Structure 1
Amino acid sequence: MMSYTLLVVFLLSVVFHTPTLSENLSLKPPEHDLFSGSLYATCRMRPNTQLASGMPRVYGHVLFKQTGPDEELQVKFKLHGLPASNSQSRAIHIHQYGDLSEGCTSTGGHYNPEGANHPLHPGDFGNFIAHNGKIRQSVDSKATLYGGLSVLGRAVVIHEKEDDMGQGGDAGSLLHGNAGGRLACCVIGISSSKVWNKSHL
């Protein structure tokens, strides 16, 4: 009877086991082996369908590369359509949902799987200044393409204003940095290495 009880307890622990963070990150899609241990993703930026008249219409791509579950995520921004005469700093973030059914509004709030205050969300990329209407920049990010915390299928949003980096002194600052309206967005999808390798900033 004791051995039967132990067997039942063991089986239940397997069925209801909650993966740890390290176990989540170790889950690897088949593309990991296909591209020599790296994962690639892309996000095709398009203007918010709910955009007010007269606002900048931003197009372009956001590209991702990660060489392993324990490595930093490399991100390239290739965006255009911002005013050439305006040096306004713009915030870019990863948002929770890859849902564009109501334009960028339906992407939800910042992707924040660990309940942290802004700007400590994994997809808080910071502020970017366009030159001649274009953003051409690369950053390293704490977000990941691997495991249960993967940002695949989530959205990237470029905002109207500058991110106050959590220093605004109000509740909104700790949620979203008071970065204003959503100019453009896209959904992150897994890709081959081709787009990344052809991309030059």
Structure 2
Amino acid sequence: MEGGSKATLKAVALITGDTNVRGFIHFTQIPNGITHVQGKITGLSPGLHGFHIHALGDTTNGCNSTGPHFNPLKKDHGAPSDGERHAGDLGNIIAGPDGVAEVSIKDWQIPLSGQHSILGRAVVVHADPDDLGKGGHELSKTTGNAGARVGCGRMYTKRIRIGNCMF
């Protein structure tokens, strides 16, 4: 199995953006290959936001340098439940009226080890809802027409300290 390991693997990404978007995302891959994605992002506008793994972990130019969605099998964009989708297509997260999104996703196409590992890549939050490849827009099959990148962070395997906080 791709990414299958006998040990539980972990990674973390700290999310930052040009505005007040901040957060953390923890990735835990259990031995059967399923990766649990959990965390919290604040500073979002209320509603749905596209949520993806992008191909690059480069954030030197903010979220714009993270490249396209992670897509090692060269498929069209789709919903997390679709057979035809980018590996990095994680659908939408929902921010409440307070601008906070609690993230809890389980996915088998984003391993933390192996040929298609997501380690070192970036997780990106978009301004708009992801249409899951079904919106009919010219960008639906590539980006889900999810709009601007409002927050992102590179995935690390080590714990990260910022001030008095350990992630």
TM score, norm. by length of structure 1? 0.70
Structural RMSD (CA): 2.0
Match runs of 1:21-170 below 5 Å: 22=1, 25=3, 37-48=7-18, 56-68=19-31, 70-83=32-45, 87-119=46-78, 120-131=85-96, 132-141=98-107, 142-170=109-137
The amino acid across from 1:107 in the alignment is T
SS at match of 1:175: coil
Aligned length: 153
Quote the Cα distance in structure 1 between the aligned partners of 2:152 and 2:42: 13
The amino acid across from 1:137 in the alignment is V
The CA deviation string for residues 85-106 of structure 1, in whole angstroms up to 9 with x for no partner, is xx32111100000001111111
The amino acid across from 1:168 in the alignment is G
Quote the Cα distance in structure 1 between the aligned partners of 2:39 and 2:51: 10
Percent identity reads: 36
SS at match of 1:90: strand
Runs of 4+ in 1 over 2 A off after TM superposition: none
1:146: how far off? 1.3
Report if aligned partners of 1:58, 1:184 keep a CA contact under 8 Å in 2: yes
Listed as ranges, the gaps of 5+ residues in structure 1 are: 1-21, 49-55, 193-197
The amino acid across from 2:134 in the alignment is Q
Quote the Cα distance in structure 1 between the aligned partners of 2:3 and 2:91: 24
